[in-house]
Amino acid sequence: MANRKLEDLVEHMRAERNTLDNLAREPDQVARADLMAAARLLERSLFHAERAISSPGIMEPIQAEEGEMLDIEIEEDLLEANRKLAEVNRSIFADHGVLAIDVMGAIGSGKTSLIAAMVEGLKGRARVGMFGGDTATSIDADRVREKGALTVQINTGKECHLDANLVRRALEKIDLDDIDILFIENVGNLICPSEFDLGCSKRVVVVSVTEGESMVVKHPMMFLDADVMAINKVDMAEAFGTDVGKLESDLASISPDAVAIRTSVRSGEGLENLLDALSLL
Protein backbone atom coordinates (compact mmCIF):
# COMPACT_ATOMS: atom_id res chain seq x y z
CA MET A 1 0.00 0.00 0.00
CA ALA A 2 2.72 2.40 1.02
CA ASN A 3 4.52 1.58 -2.22
CA ARG A 4 1.43 2.33 -4.28
CA LYS A 5 1.23 5.78 -2.68
CA LEU A 6 4.91 6.36 -3.34
CA GLU A 7 4.55 5.29 -6.96
CA ASP A 8 1.71 7.76 -7.42
CA LEU A 9 3.81 10.47 -5.85
CA VAL A 10 6.78 9.70 -8.11
CA GLU A 11 4.50 9.79 -11.13
CA HIS A 12 3.24 13.19 -10.04
CA MET A 13 6.76 14.53 -9.43
CA ARG A 14 7.89 13.34 -12.88
CA ALA A 15 5.02 15.22 -14.52
CA GLU A 16 5.85 18.37 -12.55
CA ARG A 17 9.50 18.14 -13.53
CA ASN A 18 8.60 17.72 -17.19
CA THR A 19 6.31 20.75 -16.99
CA LEU A 20 9.13 22.84 -15.54
CA ASP A 21 11.56 21.54 -18.18
CA ASN A 22 9.12 22.38 -20.98
CA LEU A 23 8.42 25.85 -19.62
CA ALA A 24 12.15 26.52 -19.37
CA ARG A 25 12.62 25.55 -23.00
CA GLU A 26 9.98 27.90 -24.35
CA PRO A 27 11.54 30.45 -26.69
CA ASP A 28 12.04 33.87 -25.06
CA GLN A 29 11.60 32.38 -21.60
CA VAL A 30 13.06 35.05 -19.33
CA ALA A 31 12.96 32.93 -16.17
CA ARG A 32 14.82 30.03 -17.80
CA ALA A 33 17.61 29.76 -15.25
CA ASP A 34 15.20 29.70 -12.29
CA LEU A 35 12.86 27.22 -13.97
CA MET A 36 15.79 24.93 -14.81
CA ALA A 37 17.07 25.20 -11.25
CA ALA A 38 13.60 24.29 -9.92
CA ALA A 39 13.45 21.31 -12.30
CA ARG A 40 16.87 20.11 -11.18
CA LEU A 41 15.90 20.37 -7.52
CA LEU A 42 12.82 18.31 -8.22
CA GLU A 43 15.01 15.89 -10.15
CA ARG A 44 17.09 15.35 -7.04
CA SER A 45 14.02 14.69 -4.90
CA LEU A 46 12.76 12.34 -7.58
CA PHE A 47 16.01 10.41 -7.50
CA HIS A 48 15.61 9.70 -3.80
CA ALA A 49 11.90 8.94 -4.06
CA GLU A 50 12.56 6.45 -6.86
CA ARG A 51 15.31 4.86 -4.82
CA ALA A 52 12.87 4.53 -1.95
CA ILE A 53 10.63 2.39 -4.16
CA SER A 54 13.36 -0.07 -5.00
CA SER A 55 16.89 -0.15 -3.64
CA PRO A 56 18.47 -2.31 -6.31
CA GLY A 57 21.40 -4.56 -5.51
CA ILE A 58 24.38 -4.81 -7.80
CA MET A 59 23.32 -7.92 -9.80
CA GLU A 60 19.67 -7.12 -10.27
CA PRO A 61 20.02 -3.69 -11.90
CA ILE A 62 22.48 -5.00 -14.44
CA GLN A 63 19.89 -7.49 -15.64
CA ALA A 64 17.14 -4.92 -15.57
CA GLU A 65 19.33 -2.69 -17.67
CA GLU A 66 19.63 -5.26 -20.43
CA GLY A 67 15.92 -4.84 -21.02
CA GLU A 68 16.16 -1.08 -20.73
CA MET A 69 18.92 -1.00 -23.32
CA LEU A 70 16.49 -2.38 -25.85
CA ASP A 71 13.81 0.02 -24.64
CA ILE A 72 16.17 2.88 -25.28
CA GLU A 73 15.86 2.35 -29.02
CA ILE A 74 12.10 2.37 -29.05
CA GLU A 75 11.33 4.58 -26.10
CA GLU A 76 9.91 7.95 -27.07
CA ASP A 77 11.27 9.64 -24.03
CA LEU A 78 14.98 9.05 -24.40
CA LEU A 79 15.79 11.37 -21.55
CA GLU A 80 13.55 9.43 -19.21
CA ALA A 81 15.21 6.17 -20.23
CA ASN A 82 18.59 7.81 -19.72
CA ARG A 83 17.60 8.95 -16.23
CA LYS A 84 16.75 5.40 -15.23
CA LEU A 85 20.05 4.04 -16.51
CA ALA A 86 21.95 6.87 -14.83
CA GLU A 87 20.42 5.84 -11.51
CA VAL A 88 21.60 2.29 -12.05
CA ASN A 89 25.12 3.55 -12.84
CA ARG A 90 25.03 5.71 -9.73
CA SER A 91 24.20 2.80 -7.48
CA ILE A 92 26.91 0.66 -9.13
CA PHE A 93 29.50 3.38 -8.43
CA ALA A 94 28.27 3.69 -4.85
CA ASP A 95 28.39 -0.06 -4.28
CA HIS A 96 32.04 -0.13 -5.39
CA GLY A 97 33.02 3.03 -3.57
CA VAL A 98 34.04 4.69 -6.85
CA LEU A 99 33.83 8.47 -7.17
CA ALA A 100 32.79 9.13 -10.78
CA ILE A 101 33.27 12.52 -12.37
CA ASP A 102 31.69 13.74 -15.60
CA VAL A 103 34.17 16.04 -17.35
CA MET A 104 32.48 18.28 -19.90
CA GLY A 105 33.62 21.19 -22.02
CA ALA A 106 34.03 22.42 -25.57
CA ILE A 107 36.44 20.96 -28.11
CA GLY A 108 39.94 22.21 -27.30
CA SER A 109 39.11 23.45 -23.80
CA GLY A 110 41.73 21.05 -22.41
CA LYS A 111 39.62 18.29 -20.87
CA THR A 112 42.06 15.50 -21.73
CA SER A 113 45.13 17.47 -20.63
CA LEU A 114 43.48 18.32 -17.31
CA ILE A 115 42.46 14.70 -16.72
CA ALA A 116 45.99 13.52 -17.57
CA ALA A 117 47.42 16.10 -15.15
CA MET A 118 45.00 15.02 -12.41
CA VAL A 119 45.89 11.35 -12.95
CA GLU A 120 49.54 12.33 -12.58
CA GLY A 121 48.75 14.34 -9.45
CA LEU A 122 46.85 11.44 -7.91
CA LYS A 123 49.71 8.97 -8.41
CA GLY A 124 50.33 7.05 -5.19
CA ARG A 125 47.18 8.58 -3.66
CA ALA A 126 44.36 6.88 -5.57
CA ARG A 127 43.76 4.36 -8.31
CA VAL A 128 42.21 6.06 -11.31
CA GLY A 129 40.15 4.99 -14.30
CA MET A 130 39.07 7.01 -17.32
CA PHE A 131 36.41 6.61 -19.98
CA GLY A 132 37.22 8.71 -23.03
CA GLY A 133 34.18 9.79 -25.02
CA ASP A 134 34.82 10.88 -28.57
CA THR A 135 33.13 10.55 -31.91
CA ALA A 136 36.11 8.58 -33.24
CA THR A 137 39.70 7.48 -32.36
CA SER A 138 41.23 6.49 -29.02
CA ILE A 139 43.79 9.30 -28.95
CA ASP A 140 42.55 10.82 -25.67
CA ALA A 141 42.18 7.55 -23.77
CA ASP A 142 45.66 6.53 -24.95
CA ARG A 143 47.13 9.79 -23.61
CA VAL A 144 45.58 9.22 -20.21
CA ARG A 145 46.52 5.53 -20.14
CA GLU A 146 50.16 6.58 -20.53
CA LYS A 147 49.80 8.41 -17.20
CA GLY A 148 48.85 5.16 -15.49
CA ALA A 149 45.05 5.14 -15.59
CA LEU A 150 42.86 2.20 -16.57
CA THR A 151 41.08 3.49 -19.66
CA VAL A 152 38.17 2.55 -21.89
CA GLN A 153 37.43 4.39 -25.11
CA ILE A 154 33.82 5.09 -26.04
CA ASN A 155 33.27 6.13 -29.63
CA THR A 156 29.89 7.74 -30.17
CA GLY A 157 29.96 7.92 -33.97
CA LYS A 158 27.64 10.77 -34.87
CA GLU A 159 26.40 11.48 -31.34
CA CYS A 160 27.53 14.71 -29.66
CA HIS A 161 27.38 13.42 -26.07
CA LEU A 162 27.78 10.35 -23.90
CA ASP A 163 24.72 8.78 -22.34
CA ALA A 164 24.17 6.53 -19.35
CA ASN A 165 23.78 3.49 -21.58
CA LEU A 166 27.21 3.90 -23.20
CA VAL A 167 28.77 4.39 -19.77
CA ARG A 168 27.06 1.24 -18.53
CA ARG A 169 28.54 -0.72 -21.43
CA ALA A 170 31.99 0.67 -20.69
CA LEU A 171 31.56 -0.38 -17.05
CA GLU A 172 31.48 -4.00 -18.20
CA LYS A 173 35.04 -3.60 -19.48
CA ILE A 174 36.69 -2.76 -16.19
CA ASP A 175 36.66 -4.10 -12.67
CA LEU A 176 35.46 -1.23 -10.51
CA ASP A 177 37.19 -2.79 -7.52
CA ASP A 178 40.49 -1.88 -9.23
CA ILE A 179 39.83 1.87 -9.07
CA ASP A 180 38.83 4.57 -6.60
CA ILE A 181 38.15 7.43 -9.01
CA LEU A 182 36.69 7.40 -12.53
CA PHE A 183 36.96 10.36 -14.88
CA ILE A 184 34.47 10.26 -17.74
CA GLU A 185 35.54 12.63 -20.48
CA ASN A 186 32.42 13.65 -22.36
CA VAL A 187 32.35 14.50 -26.05
CA GLY A 188 33.60 18.05 -26.72
CA ASN A 189 30.42 20.10 -26.74
CA LEU A 190 28.73 22.66 -24.50
CA ILE A 191 25.12 21.85 -25.31
CA CYS A 192 24.04 18.19 -25.46
CA PRO A 193 26.04 16.62 -22.58
CA SER A 194 24.20 18.69 -19.96
CA GLU A 195 20.94 16.88 -20.79
CA PHE A 196 22.31 13.41 -20.15
CA ASP A 197 23.04 12.40 -16.59
CA LEU A 198 25.64 9.62 -16.62
CA GLY A 199 25.24 8.66 -12.97
CA CYS A 200 28.33 10.52 -11.82
CA SER A 201 28.45 12.17 -8.40
CA LYS A 202 30.28 15.25 -9.66
CA ARG A 203 30.19 17.30 -12.83
CA VAL A 204 33.02 19.56 -13.90
CA VAL A 205 32.87 21.90 -16.86
CA VAL A 206 36.19 22.94 -18.39
CA VAL A 207 36.24 26.38 -19.99
CA SER A 208 39.35 27.74 -21.66
CA VAL A 209 40.18 31.44 -21.52
CA THR A 210 40.76 31.16 -25.27
CA GLU A 211 36.98 30.74 -25.67
CA GLY A 212 36.31 34.21 -24.29
CA GLU A 213 34.61 35.52 -21.16
CA SER A 214 30.97 34.92 -22.15
CA MET A 215 30.98 31.13 -22.09
CA VAL A 216 28.89 30.87 -18.93
CA VAL A 217 26.10 33.24 -19.98
CA LYS A 218 26.02 31.73 -23.47
CA HIS A 219 25.61 28.18 -22.17
CA PRO A 220 23.71 28.46 -18.86
CA MET A 221 22.28 24.91 -19.01
CA MET A 222 25.78 23.50 -18.92
CA PHE A 223 26.59 25.24 -15.65
CA LEU A 224 23.33 24.78 -13.74
CA ASP A 225 24.26 21.30 -12.58
CA ALA A 226 28.02 21.80 -12.50
CA ASP A 227 29.83 21.33 -9.20
CA VAL A 228 33.05 22.82 -10.49
CA MET A 229 34.08 25.05 -13.39
CA ALA A 230 37.75 24.80 -14.29
CA ILE A 231 38.89 28.01 -15.99
CA ASN A 232 41.69 26.46 -17.97
CA LYS A 233 44.76 27.85 -19.79
CA VAL A 234 44.56 30.73 -17.32
CA ASP A 235 48.22 31.57 -18.04
CA MET A 236 46.99 32.85 -21.42
CA ALA A 237 44.15 35.03 -20.10
CA GLU A 238 46.05 38.26 -20.52
CA ALA A 239 47.24 37.44 -24.03
CA PHE A 240 43.65 36.71 -25.06
CA GLY A 241 42.26 39.72 -23.16
CA THR A 242 39.81 37.47 -21.28
CA ASP A 243 38.27 38.77 -18.08
CA VAL A 244 38.48 35.70 -15.83
CA GLY A 245 36.56 37.52 -13.07
CA LYS A 246 33.54 37.79 -15.37
CA LEU A 247 33.46 34.01 -15.87
CA GLU A 248 33.59 33.61 -12.09
CA SER A 249 30.84 36.13 -11.31
CA ASP A 250 28.60 34.72 -14.07
CA LEU A 251 28.97 31.26 -12.55
CA ALA A 252 28.17 32.62 -9.09
CA SER A 253 24.91 34.11 -10.36
CA ILE A 254 23.80 31.08 -12.40
CA SER A 255 24.93 28.34 -10.04
CA PRO A 256 25.75 29.76 -6.58
CA ASP A 257 26.86 26.41 -5.16
CA ALA A 258 29.38 25.73 -7.92
CA VAL A 259 33.08 26.43 -7.42
CA ALA A 260 35.33 28.11 -9.99
CA ILE A 261 38.98 27.05 -10.08
CA ARG A 262 41.63 28.73 -12.25
CA THR A 263 43.87 26.10 -13.82
CA SER A 264 46.81 25.79 -16.17
CA VAL A 265 48.19 22.42 -17.15
CA ARG A 266 51.29 24.18 -18.49
CA SER A 267 52.19 25.98 -15.26
CA GLY A 268 50.50 23.53 -12.90
CA GLU A 269 48.46 26.36 -11.37
CA GLY A 270 45.30 25.28 -9.58
CA LEU A 271 45.65 21.53 -10.12
CA GLU A 272 45.71 20.72 -6.40
CA ASN A 273 42.79 23.12 -5.86
CA LEU A 274 40.87 21.33 -8.58
CA LEU A 275 41.48 17.92 -6.99
CA ASP A 276 40.40 19.38 -3.68
CA ALA A 277 37.24 20.99 -5.12
CA LEU A 278 36.29 17.61 -6.61
CA SER A 279 36.82 15.95 -3.20
CA LEU A 280 39.57 13.76 -4.67
CA LEU A 281 42.18 14.39 -1.98
Binding site for Mg ion (CB under 5 A): 111-112, 140
Q: Which CB, 87 or 163, lies closer to Mg ion?
A: 163
Minimum gap (Å) between residue 112 Cβ and Mg ion: 3
Distances (CA, A) of 271 to 100, 129, 139, 175: 18, 18, 23, 27
Q: Which CB, 90 or 111, lies closer to Mg ion?
A: 111
Residue nearest to Mg ion (CB): 112
Composition of the chain by helix, strand, coil, percent to 5: 55, 15, 30
Minimum gap (Å) between residue 265 Cβ and Mg ion: 12
**CA dist., res. 138 & res. 131, Å (int):** 10
**CA dist., res. 131 & res. 7, Å (int):** 34
Q: Are 155 and 134 in contact (CB under 8 A)?
A: yes
Q: Which CB, 140 or 250, lies closer to Mg ion?
A: 140
Q: Which H or E run includes 228?
A: strand 228-232
Minimum gap (Å) between residue 208 Cβ and Mg ion: 12
Minimum gap (Å) between residue 95 Cβ and Mg ion: 29
Q: Which CB, 188 or 199, lies closer to Mg ion?
A: 188
Helix boundaries (H) for 75-138: 78-95, 111-121
Q: Which CB, 134 or 213, lies closer to Mg ion?
A: 134
Minimum gap (Å) between residue 228 Cβ and Mg ion: 17
